[in-house]
Amino acid sequence: MSLISVILPSYNEEENIHRAVERLSETLSREEVDWELVFVNDGSRDGTWQRITEEAKGNPHITGVSFSRNFGKEAAIMAGLATAKGDCCVVMDCDLQHPPETVVEMLHLWQQGYEVVEGVKRSRGRESRLHALLAGTFYRIMSSATRIDMSRASDFKLMDRKAVNALLSLPEKNAFFRALSSWVGFKTTSVEFDVREREAGTSKWSSRSLAAYAIRNITSFSSAPLQIVTFLGLIMLLLAVALSIQTLIRYFSGTAVEGFTTVILLILLIGSLLMISLGIIGYYLAQIYKELKGRPRYLISEVISGGTENPDGTK
Ligand code: UDP
Ligand code: MG
């Protein structure tokens, strides 16, 4: 019988662990498959890890991995994929915003031969206006920069072992799961799901952390911002040619004293464009620097599997 692994990144989700185990066990045990739940505790500050160990005690279906600190959701997903033993892996949020019934739908598609099943948001659930606006902008930029439509994409996906291994073999440390899972290719389909209300707790993303996430992922997946610098340079060159002609005509016709406003405006404009451009280049430089250091994506402090602890689960 094939084994399906469900990976649940968890950060300060103490109220949701038990519920997630209950709901997923109920749903998955009705199917003709073996299953395991892999909880990745992303350096939670509350009782999340205690809850995971409690659930794992004597339950062979549950594996827990605990990070030494908060490394972020992307790292948690990669750690879960690296730990999972399944013939296919499903990544889902442990706040149950991704409905367990959709996991079953994905599983059936996998059994029909699909290798990547993307969860696509039918509706975005309840979000503040500002959040929806920011998310919308981010995905528009991402979609045009990467040429992958991501406006309704989510981290809710099923991947076949082949695709998981391909993803795990990528050397980059700054992985953007949502885009990489379509980048690896394979026979892909999608299922729509409605984003549920969070069962408990609050969203772990502030507007600021979302903005940082957006910038990090755009730069990790696309060099388009660097091309914007070239593009701005070209526009400035055209402007420069036009103004030079005007200046020369004025000089030769003897009316060259005026135009101080133009000078001030040009200095301000060029100055800010140069600084923004340097900032963009600097950002990429920082990313290259980080990749070059080759630090691991995450550090594991503890692993628990069906009640047996393995303290030297370092990676
Ligand atoms: N999460 C994580 N590490 C983080 C932030 C979030 O593992 O640093 C997990 C979190 O526990 C949840 C999932 O990622 O299972 C989605 O987070 P959240 O529900 O806060 O995001 P939202 O649904 O609001 O986009
Ligand atoms: Mg959520």
C-alpha of 190 from chain center:
18
Of residues 92 and 306, the one with the higher pLDDT is: 92
- Which residue CA neighbors atom 22 of ligand 1 most closely? 203
Residue-wise pLDDT for 16-71, tens only, equals 888 889 889 988 888 888 899 999 999 899 889 988 988 888 788 899 999 999 98
* CA distance linking residue 32 with residue 4, whole number of Å: 10
pLDDT of residue 31: 83
pLDDT of residue 39: 93
Instruction: Read off the tokens for 102.
Output: 């959709």
Residue 184 has pLDDT above 50, yes or no: yes
Residue 124 has pLDDT above 80, yes or no: no
What number is the average pLDDT over the span 211-226?
77
Of residues 311 and 2, the one with the higher pLDDT is: 2
Place of tokens 């040619």: 241
How many percent of the chain have pLDDT more than 90? 18
* CA distance linking residue 81 with residue 298, whole number of Å: 13
- Taking the centre of ligand 2 as the mean of its atom positions, its distance from the CA of residue 203, in whole angstroms, is 6
- Which residue CA neighbors atom 3 of ligand 1 most closely? 73
Residue-wise pLDDT for 222-271, tens only, equals 777 777 777 888 888 888 888 888 888 888 887 776 667 778 778 887 88
pLDDT of residue 311: 46
Nearest to 256 by CA among 269, 243, 265, 266: 243
Residue 127 has pLDDT above 60, yes or no: yes
Element (H, E) at 130: helix 129-146
* CA distance linking residue 158 with residue 144, whole number of Å: 25
Nearest to 171 by CA among 220, 227, 224: 220
Of residues 77 and 173, the one with the higher pLDDT is: 77
Residue 7 has pLDDT above 90, yes or no: yes
Residue-wise pLDDT for 136-165, tens only, equals 777 777 777 766 666 677 889 999 999 999
SS (HEC) of 170-234:
CCCCCCCHHHHHHHCCCCEEEEEEECCCCCCCCCCCCHHHHHHHHHHHHHHHCCHHHHHHHHHHH
- Which residue CA neighbors atom 23 of ligand 1 most closely? 203
What number is the average pLDDT over the span 181-196?
82
23-37, 111-125, 132-146, 163-177: least confidently modelled range: 132-146
Q: Which atom of ligand 1 is nearest to the CA of 198?
A: 19
Lining ligand 1 with CB less than 6 A are 9-11, 13, 42, 70, 72-73, 76, 93-95, 97, 203-205
Instruction: Read off the tokens for 291.
Output: 């990749």
DSSP 42: -
Q: 261-269, long-range: CB within 8 Å, 24+ apart, which pairs?
A: 269/236
- Taking the centre of ligand 2 as the mean of its atom positions, its distance from the CA of residue 97, in whole angstroms, is 6
- Taking the centre of ligand 1 as the mean of its atom positions, its distance from the CA of residue 281, in whole angstroms, is 30
Of residues 7 and 198, the one with the higher pLDDT is: 7
The overall average pLDDT reported for the chain is 83
- Which residue CA neighbors atom 19 of ligand 1 most closely? 203
Element (H, E) at 67: strand 62-67
- Which residue CA neighbors atom 15 of ligand 1 most closely? 93
pTM of the predicted protein model: 0.70
Encode burial over 91-102: b for 16+ CB neighbours within 10 A, e otherwise. bbbbbbbbbbeb
pLDDT of residue 60: 85
Residue 220 has pLDDT above 50, yes or no: yes
